[in-house]
Amino acid sequence: MMNNSSPPTAIAVENLRVIRGSRTVIPGLTWAVPVGQIVGLLGPSGCGKTTLMRALVGVQIVAEGTVTVLGHPAGHRTLRQRVGYVTQNPSVYGDLTVTENLRYFAAVIGIHRRDLDAELGRVLGLVDLESHATARVDQLSGGQRSRVSLGAALVGNPELLVLDEPTVGLDPVLRRDLWALFRRLADAGTTILVSSHVMEEASRCDRLLLMREGGVLADDTLSGLLASTDSIDIEAAFLTLVDRAAQMQEARA
Partner 1 sequence: MNLRLTFATAVRVLRQIRHDPRTVVMLIVVPCVLVGLLAWVYDDTPIFDQIGAPLLGVFPFVVMFLVTSVATLRERQSGTLERLLTMPLGKGDLIGGYAIAFGLLAVVQALVASGFSVWVLGLDVAGSVWLLVLVATVDALLGTALGLLVSAFARSEFQAVQFMPAFVLPQFLLCGLLTPRESLPDALEAVSNVLPLSYAVDGMRTLSAVSDASGDVLQDVLIVLGFVAAAVLLGSATLRRRTA
Q: How far is the CB of 20 from partner 1 (least distance, A)?
A: 6
69/199 with CB nearer partner 1? 69
Q: Does 24 bind partner 1 (CB under 8 A)?
A: no
- Cβ atoms of 43 and 50 closer than 8 Å: no
Q: Does 17 bind partner 1 (CB under 8 A)?
A: no
Q: Does 227 bind partner 1 (CB under 8 A)?
A: no
Q: Which helix (H) or strand (E) holds 119?
A: helix 113-126
78/203 with CB nearer partner 1? 78
85/179 with CB nearer partner 1? 85
Q: Does 119 bind partner 1 (CB under 8 A)?
A: no
Q: How far is the CB of 124 from partner 1 (least distance, A)?
A: 18
Q: Does 91 bind partner 1 (CB under 8 A)?
A: yes
Within 8 A by CB and 6+ apart from 75, the residues are 57, 58, 59
- Cβ atoms of 161 and 112 closer than 8 Å: no
Closest CA to 32 of 161, 193, 201, 186: 193
Q: Does 35 bind partner 1 (CB under 8 A)?
A: no
**CB-facing half-sphere around the CA of 69: CA atoms within 13 A:** 28
Q: Which helix (H) or strand (E) holds 73?
A: strand 72-73
The residue type of 209 is L
Spatial separation of the C-alpha atoms in residues 82 and 39, rounded to whole Å: 18
**Looking at 2, 4, 6, 110, which residue binds partner 1 (CB under 8 A)?**
110
What angle (nearest 5°) sits at the alpha carbon of residue 200, between those of residues 53 and 207? 50
Q: Does 185 bind partner 1 (CB under 8 A)?
A: no
61/173 with CB nearer partner 1? 61
**Looking at 2, 3, 5, 61, which residue binds partner 1 (CB under 8 A)?**
61
Q: Does 173 bind partner 1 (CB under 8 A)?
A: no
Q: Does 163 bind partner 1 (CB under 8 A)?
A: no
**Looking at 44, 73, 94, 169, which residue binds partner 1 (CB under 8 A)?**
94
Spatial separation of the C-alpha atoms in residues 182 and 141, rounded to whole Å: 22
Q: Does 96 bind partner 1 (CB under 8 A)?
A: yes
Q: Does 104 bind partner 1 (CB under 8 A)?
A: yes
**Looking at 89, 141, 203, 228, which residue binds partner 1 (CB under 8 A)?**
89
Closest CA to 202 of 240, 228, 236: 236
Q: How far is the CB of 87 from partner 1 (least distance, A)?
A: 5
Spatial separation of the C-alpha atoms in residues 15 and 165, rounded to whole Å: 25
- Cβ atoms of 249 and 243 closer than 8 Å: no
Q: Does 198 bind partner 1 (CB under 8 A)?
A: no
The residue type of 243 is D
Q: Which residues bind partner 1 (CB under 8 A)?
A: 19-21, 57-62, 75, 77, 80-81, 83, 85, 87, 89-96, 100, 104-105, 107-110, 136, 152-153
